[in-house]
Amino acid sequence: MIQSEKMRVYIGVGSNLNDPVAQVKTALAALGALPETSSVQHSSLYRSAPLTLDAAVMQPDYINAVAALDTRLGSIQLLAELQALERCQGRTRGAQRWGARTLDLDLLLYADRQDKSEELTVPHPRLHERSFVLYPLFEIAPDLHVPGQGSVRDLAAHCRIHDTLSCSPLCMTSS
Residues catalogued as catalytic:
91, 101, 104, 106
Give the separation between CA 43 and CA 136, rounded to whole angstroms: 5
Peptide bond into 20 cis (omega under 30): no
- What is the pairing mode between strands 2-15 and 62-73? antiparallel
3-state secondary structure of 51: coil
Point out which residues pair with 169 in neighbouring strands. Answer: 46
Give the separation between CA 109 and CA 8, rounded to whole angstroms: 8
Counted residue by residue, the chain has a size of 175
Q: What is residue 88's DSSP assignment?
A: H
